[in-house]
Amino acid sequence: MASEPRDVPTESQGWIAALYRWYAEVEAPGRSELFAQIAAAVAADAPTLDFLAAMPKPKWQPNLLIGAVRYLFGTPPDAAGFLELVRAHPDEIAAVMAVRRTQTNEPARCATLLPALARLRGPLALLEVGASAGLCLLPDRYAYAYGDYESRFADVFSGINARYDFSGGTIRPYAALNVSYDTRSGVPGASQIFNDDAAVISAGLRAPLGKNEYGYLFALGGYSIGLRGQPDYGDVRYGIAYSRDYGTLFTAKPHTQVNVSAAVYSRYQGNAISYLQGSHDARIAGALRGIAGLTLAADSHRLYYNNFAEGYAGLIVPVSDQINLRFVGVQGTYLPRGIDRPVPATYSGYRALLVFGAGVP
């Protein structure tokens, strides 16, 4: 028998309804139409909102509710069937949600260890106790983390790109972990890759082309672990990438970097997203450096936020040999090829970045 309606604050119901409407309109479309329909139905159903509002806030996420119902009763035929299950079995569903959560075990944890380890005198010995399968014992084989505040979105984008090379030589097989997370997922205008909010584990090949020059031809098959309530699913991406450094960062001489990439993402319904990026930095005084750069982006689906050209200029403030802060002003425009681009199409703002890189060429 269903429990009696619970006495909960009205403002909690409104917040939860907005969360589920956002999930129905932004997160689920193109991935699961049933999830989108369920989330929209929950947002409009007072008894289900009461049920959720009576639980701790971390338990409000759509994926947890949907996953608990599927775990107990299988996949409902439609949104109406889902609501009937919640009304008929609230205590059983609440019991599962109370003890379940989304969890990942991955090298992203090294993001908090690397800056500290980089400051210690070696040699070091690491001992790991836990369920990460030894992934935290290899910090010297993982690469850079970043944090990026974008004024035009009032959002903080953060992420980790970690790579482990299994061997040297002409063609190098590697495993990779890409994690992205932001504080306002789904904000209009932010490109899809910024709003991933997922941890993607994959493998591929890369080929060094020369000193400070790398070419990548990759076909990555992996698994995307959804963050911020996003669903988990298989993830396939393939494409090419090229990077070249002219000079070395944090030396007396100027330094230039060029990056080109094009990748097809299964998670975005086969959208191919390409980037051309170039930057130049030089010493101004002491360790302080000035930087200027350009970015050009385009995609095959012609989504306006994936089609833009922007320039930026500002300062690099080194914290250590491997950590630096960057403050830049940005001026850009969404390209005419983008569908439904905003009016005006230009934008400006500032960007503050924390960049960390360790030990992987």
Distance of CA 70 to the CA centre of its chain: 26
DSSP 232: P
Comparing 86 with 63, the larger pLDDT belongs to: 86
What mean pLDDT is predicted for residues 46-69?
90
Across residues 1-24, what is the average pLDDT?
A: 65
Tens of pLDDT along 171-190? 778 888 878 777 766 666 77
Residue 199 confidence (pLDDT):
79
Q: What is the per-residue pLDDT for 293?
A: 95
Which residues lie below 8 Å from residue 321, measured CB to CB, with a gap of 6+?
118, 250
E runs forming strands in the chain: 145-150, 155-165, 172-182, 198-210, 213-226, 233-246, 255-265, 271-285, 288-299, 308-318, 323-334, 346-356
Mean pLDDT taken over the chain: 79
Q: Band of the pLDDT at 360, cuts 50, 70, 90?
A: very low
- Model confidence over 108-159: pLDDT tens digits? 566 656 666 666 666 777 777 665 556 667 666 665 555 677 777 777 777 7
The pLDDT of 210-230, averaged and rounded, is 71
Mean predicted confidence (pLDDT) in 280-295: 91
Give the pLDDT confidence score for residue 183 in this predicted structure: 75
- CB atoms under 10 Å from CB of 4, counted, come to 8
Say what the pLDDT of residue 358 is: 47
Q: What is the pLDDT of residue 277?
A: 94
Residue 92 pLDDT > 90 = yes
Q: Coil, strand or helix: which one is 110? A: helix
Q: Is the pLDDT of residue 291 over 90?
A: yes
pLDDT over threshold 50, residue 3:
no
**Please, which pLDDT band fits residue 229 given cuts at 50, 70 and 90?**
low
How far is residue 333's CA from residue 300's CA, in Å, rounded to a whole number? 18
Q: What pLDDT does 6 receive?
A: 42
Domains of the chain: 10-99 (no CATH), 111-356 (2.40.160.40)
Global pTM exceeds 0.85? no
Flag the least confident range among 39-48, 75-84, 160-169: 160-169
With a cut of 50, say whether residue 279 has pLDDT above it.
yes
Of 62-66, 125-129, 206-210, give the lowest mean pLDDT range: 206-210
**Which position has the higher pLDDT, 147 or 328?**
328
Q: What pLDDT, in 10s, does the model give residues 233-277? A: 777 878 888 888 888 777 778 989 999 999 898 877 788 999 999
Whether residue 106 is predicted with pLDDT greater than 70 in this model: the reply is: no
